[in-house]
Amino acid sequence: MCITPSAQLDKHKAQGLHCNEKEYATIGQDVVIDCQLRFVSNVYWYSEKTSFDSPLVKIENEQKVILEAGKGNYDISETGALLIKDVVEERCGLYKVVIVNKDATYEEAFVRLELLNKPRQECLVVSLCDSCYCSSDAKTNHNVSCSVIGARPQVNVSLITENEDLFNVTVRHNTDTDTFDTIAYIEVSIDTCGSKLSVRCTVVGSNIFGIKDSSIDLNSAPCIQTTDTLTVSATAKDEEMFAFLDDLRLVIVVVFVVTAVVICMVVIVCVTVCKKVIAPVYRAPLEQRSSQAAKLHASSAKFAEILAKSDSNLPNDKIGYGTDLKSGE
């Protein structure tokens, strides 16, 4: 017997249902719609396919019953959750649950079952990027967009920058495929030359498709050196050159002093070696020659003395003859 809530039942006192507005499944999947009943009462599940006239399954007087409309495709758990078997497109749509309590209160809720449609993208799509990350040259003002295309259910996205700039979001519903395109866009300004701004695109909330984040680095134009900049740069280079020359002079002086000290030490060592090793070698022959010269001088002096005595003993005529012969007469 199907129990339909009547006007005599007080709907506003019941607070036992906590259903999601939408549930999602893929083809061939078994899905459970659970309204998290705090206690089990009389529970009835309906489908819009039967115009909500008769339930598919029910728990009544603590007995679980599968009615003719639900046989083979539906079941109900002991806690009052609806089980939809082997989901196909025909079983998607709107479902209604009604609970009737012993105190004549009741509550009803509606849940829509939809098929998932996974977007054909590994990561969120960022303008100017062909991959999940890229780098691009940016103008002073630049528009950056982040999008996920063809999703069911809708996927929410956010743009994050270092400056926490505000962004706008547009959601487009594709009625022919019942899918959603979500696009977030932001206008960023880069006023400083030679700088970089990073923008990250991320999923907000439930990410049931596991879509990866994306990011882009916007690089501003390099700085152009003006005359003042060149002058300052040249002055700085001159100062660096002077400092280098001063350091070089100091190094040269230190090297010269060290070299001189080393040379002096080498000379001192050489002189010391000569005195101790070479001088004794030449000193012995010199003393020997001096002794021989002294002996020769003594012999010469003695010979001269003998010769003088011999001349004094000769007759005078012999001396004169000898003188005549010497003079040539």
If you average pLDDT over every residue of the chain, what do you get?
80
Q: What per-residue string of b and e applies to 16-48 under the rule 16 or more CB within 10 Å gives b?
A: bbebeeebbbeeeeebebbbebeeebbbbbbbe
For tokens 């967009």, name the residue. Answer: 145
CA dihedral of residues 122, 127, 129, 131 (deg, nearest 10): 0
pLDDT tens for 197-240 read: 889 999 999 898 999 999 998 887 777 766 555 555 557 777 88
* pLDDT confidence tier of residue 182, bands split at 50, 70 and 90: very high
Amino acid type, 191: D
Burial (CB < 10 A; 0-12, 13-18, 19+), residue 180, is: buried
Contact of 144 with 126, CB cutoff 8 Å: yes
pTM of the complete model:
0.51
Reply yes or no on domain 125-219 having CATH 2.60.40.10. yes
Q: What is the C-alpha to C-alpha distance for residues 255 and 272, in angstroms, rounded to an integer?
A: 26
What per-residue confidence (pLDDT) applies to 314? 54
pLDDT tens for 13-48 read: 445 688 899 899 988 999 999 998 877 779 999 999
Q: Does residue 274 register a pLDDT over 70?
A: yes
Contacts of 320 (CB under 8 A, 6+ apart): none
User: How many contiguous H segments (helices) and E segments (strands) does the chain have?
Assistant: 3, 17
Q: Does residue 73 register a pLDDT over 50?
A: yes
* Structural fold of domain 22-115: Immunoglobulin-like (2.60.40)
Q: Does residue 105 register a pLDDT over 60?
A: yes
What per-residue confidence (pLDDT) applies to 211? 94
Query: Identical fold at 22-115 and 125-219?
Result: yes
Q: What is the C-alpha to C-alpha distance for residues 307 and 81, in angstroms, rounded to an integer?
A: 163
Give the strand pairing for 63-66 and 74-76: unpaired
Tokens of 102: 């012993």
Helix, strand, coil tally for the chain in percent (to 5): 35, 35, 35
Contacts of 41 (CB under 8 A, 6+ apart): 16, 59, 80, 99, 100, 101, 102
Contact of 145 with 185, CB cutoff 8 Å: yes
Q: What is the C-alpha to C-alpha distance for residues 95 and 49, in angstroms, rounded to an integer?
A: 9
Give the strand pairing for 168-174 and 179-189: antiparallel
Domain ranges of the chain: 22-115, 125-219
